[in-house]
């Protein structure tokens, strides 16, 4: 009994640690997914600006209004783009400045993504190691019972 | 679980229920705090970005799903006011949080005292 106590203590500690690590992994996965969505959105905006750059003033365009429906518009000024700053405020920028802003945001998000992925790998590794140790402790406990 | 609960004396059951309610209130206050903090950070960040733009820059303010042209100075003033309101709300929420935390602590201590003679050991 006295010899088994430290193993039981380790088992208890490891179970708590594993639960904590699994919650962290889940939170990191949610973060990665959110950053991914934001990256896709910015990439889409960038591609649209690339397309607009090739168009001339008064070019005819179709703007999506949802439900696979579009309205016809004429491009008033291909060099002016409205970029959101947050908190419901947007600013008019030249196309070049707008692209630079989007690029900056994309770079920032990619850094966040790399860091989140690294953290996730570390947590996943700790989970795997912990699972291995947990299985071996459980198997020892089972053998000790026989 | 509910069977075990019903074995407890009525006053302990009541106290346990009160503790659960307090913990729920605390969770809701913490969620409000997080929301206010996020909003305040966004407003602060927008003010920083706005300061970088030229004074004659064309600024738009969201009104529902529409964007309406606005003066930079007026937008900055509105944002500063919003920031100040959020700070006040943040202070009020922090005070509420402290009060509820104290009540939770007090309730836990009383519950431990109530349960000690029943279980023979303090509740962790």
Q: What is the ipTM of this complex?
A: 0.78
Chain B residues contacting A via beta carbons under 8 Å:
39, 42-43, 45-46, 49-50, 53, 57-62, 67, 75, 79, 82
Orientation angle between helical segments B10-52 and B72-119, nearest 10 degrees: 160
According to the model, what pLDDT value does residue A143 have?
87
Phi, psi of A64 (to 5 degrees): -65, 135
The end-to-end CA distance of chain B, in Å, is 18
Is CATH 1.10.357.10 the right assignment for the domain spanning B2-116?
Answer: no
Chain B CB contacts of A89 below 8 Å: 46, 50, 59-62, 75, 79
A71-80 pLDDT, tens digit each? 999 999 999 9
Which regions of chain B does DSSP assign to beta strands (E)?
Answer: 59-63, 66-70
Looking only at the bridges linking them, the beta strands covering B59-63 and B66-70 are antiparallel
Range A110-132 average pLDDT: 97
**C-beta atoms of B49 and A88 within 8 A:** no
According to the model, what pLDDT value does residue A144 have?
83
Residue B103, burial from CB neighbour count under 10 angstroms (0-12, 13-18, 19+):
middle
What does the domain layout of chain B look like in residue ranges?
A: 2-116
Average pLDDT over all residues of chain B: 91
A18-139: what fold? Helix Hairpins (1.10.287)
CA A49 to the chain's CA centroid: 23
Query: Hey, of B40, B52, B60, which one would you mutate to test binding to chain A, going by the most A CBs within 10 A of its CB?
Result: B60
- Is it the case that residue A122 has pLDDT exceeding 60? yes
- Is it the case that residue A8 has pLDDT exceeding 80? yes
A90, closest residue in chain B (CA to CA) = B60
Residue A35 near residue A116, CB atoms below 8 Å: yes
What does the domain layout of chain A look like in residue ranges?
A: 18-139
Q: How far are the Cα atoms of A35, A83, A85, A86 from residue A31, in angstroms, in the given order? A: 6, 24, 22, 20
- Chain A nearest-CA distance from B45, in A, is 8
3 state DSSP class of B59 = strand
pLDDT, mean of each 10-residue run, chain B (124 residues): 75 91 98 98 97 94 95 97 98 98 95 73 48
Range A20-42 average pLDDT: 98
- Chain B nearest-CA distance from A114, in A, is 23
Q: How confident is the model at residue A1 (pLDDT cuts 50, 70, 90)?
A: very low
- Is it the case that residue A115 has pLDDT exceeding 70? yes
- Chain A nearest-CA distance from B110, in A, is 27
CA dist., res. B97 & res. B108, Å (int): 16
């Amino acid at each position: 009994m006295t010899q088994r106590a430290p193993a039981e203590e380790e088992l208890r500690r490891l179970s708590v640690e594993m639960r904590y690590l699994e919650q962290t992994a889940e939170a990191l996965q949610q973060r990665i997914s959110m950053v991914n969505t934001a990256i896709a959105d910015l990439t889409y905006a960038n591609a649209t600006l690339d397309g607009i750059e090739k168009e001339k003033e008064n070019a005819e365009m179709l703007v999506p209004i949802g439900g696979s429906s579009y309205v016809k518009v004429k491009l008033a000024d291909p060099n002016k783009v409205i970029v959101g700053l947050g908190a419901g405020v947007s600013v008019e920028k030249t196309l070049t400045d707008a692209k630079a802003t989007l690029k900056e945001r994309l770079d920032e998000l990619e850094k966040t993504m790399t860091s989140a992925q690294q953290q996730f790998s570390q947590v996943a590794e700790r989970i795997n190691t912990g699972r291995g140790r947990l299985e071996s402790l459980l198997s020892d406990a089972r053998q000790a019972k026989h | 679980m509910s069977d075990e609960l019903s074995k407890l004396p009525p006053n302990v059951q009541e106290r346990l229920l009160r503790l659960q309610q307090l913990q729920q209130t605390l969770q809701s206050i913490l969620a409000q705090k997080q929301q206010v903090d996020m909003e305040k950070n966004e407003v602060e960040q927008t003010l920083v970005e706005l300061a970088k733009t030229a004074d004659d820059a064309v600024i738009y303010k969201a009104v529902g799903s529409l964007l309406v042209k606005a003066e930079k100075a007026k937008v900055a003033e509105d944002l500063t006011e919003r920031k100040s309101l959020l700070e006040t709300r943040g202070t009020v929420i922090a005070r509420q949080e402290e009060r509820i935390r104290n009540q939770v602590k007090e309730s836990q201590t009383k519950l431990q005292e109530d349960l000690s003679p029943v279980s023979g050991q303090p509740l962790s």
